[in-house]
Amino acid sequence: MTTIYDFNLLDKKGNTVSLNQYKGKVLLIVNSATGCGFTPQYEDLESIYRRLKDQGLEILDIPCDQFGHQAPGSDDEITEFCSLRFGTDFPQFKKSEVNGPNELPLYTFLKSQKGFEGFDMDNKIAPLLVDMFDKTGTDWRTSSDIKWNFTKFLVDRNGRVVARFEPTKDMAQVEDCIKAIL
């Protein structure tokens, strides 16, 4: 049976990193972008990371440029932006695709474990996303594809994917879910 620990990622220098090194940790895996309306979530993510990393949380940041070309620049430029603007200290990996023929195998697995369950319509950006996707003419509501930047997957200490949070999910609620499994 495939687990999260069977996958590798490339760090921003192109070195292979086995997710097996995170065994026993709680993971929050996020596809990010530096020029998105949700980019301020970096601040929330860093704050959560600083409060909970000593309890076993790791945030794995995978920049992605598939949504509105909102992650331009090299891996080094993205890292510099995040560290200077938001003080990020959690691991950041090579910019990668999360949907389609070139998607990371990790994302194929994550999406098979937790599909799309809808946007949090209390978020003011959610209706805009729904309207945009409705205009595509696709049946996007039933697809497990990642819809936008800052989709997050929560993985427990045993490597099970226990939750998927769309970017519209309130970050305080994300933190509460993390704390519940720490």
Higher pLDDT, 73 or 5: 5
Say yes or no to pLDDT of 158 above 90. Answer: yes
Contact between 146 and 31 under an 8 Å Cβ cutoff? The reply is yes
User: Which residue from 60, 54, 46 is spatially nearest to 7, judged by alpha carbons?
Assistant: 60
Structural domain boundaries, residue 128? 4-181
pLDDT band at 137 (very low <50, low <70, confident <90, very high): confident
The confidence score (pLDDT) of residue 31 equals 98
Say yes or no to pLDDT of 151 above 90. Answer: yes
Say yes or no to pLDDT of 133 above 90. Answer: yes
**Residue 51 host element (H or E):** helix 41-52
pLDDT band at 57 (very low <50, low <70, confident <90, very high): very high
| Rounded mean pLDDT, 144-168 | 97
| Structural domains in the chain (count) | 1
Query: Model confidence over 12-22: pLDDT tens digits?
Result: 889 999 999 99
Q: What is the CATH number of the domain that holds 38?
A: 3.40.30.10
pLDDT band at 132 (very low <50, low <70, confident <90, very high): very high
pLDDT band at 150 (very low <50, low <70, confident <90, very high): very high
Contact between 34 and 43 under an 8 Å Cβ cutoff? The reply is no
- Mean of the per-residue pLDDT values of the chain: 96
User: Which residue from 143, 163, 148, 176 is spatially nearest to 31, judged by alpha carbons?
Assistant: 148
Query: Model confidence over 90-112: pLDDT tens digits?
Result: 999 999 999 999 999 999 999 99
CA 71 to chain centre: 13
The confidence score (pLDDT) of residue 2 equals 87
Query: Model confidence over 67-92: pLDDT tens digits?
Result: 999 998 899 999 999 999 999 999 99
Catalytic residues: 36
Q: How many CB atoms lie within 10 A of CB 112?
A: 11
Structure tokens at 30: 């996020």
Say yes or no to pLDDT of 138 above 90. Answer: no
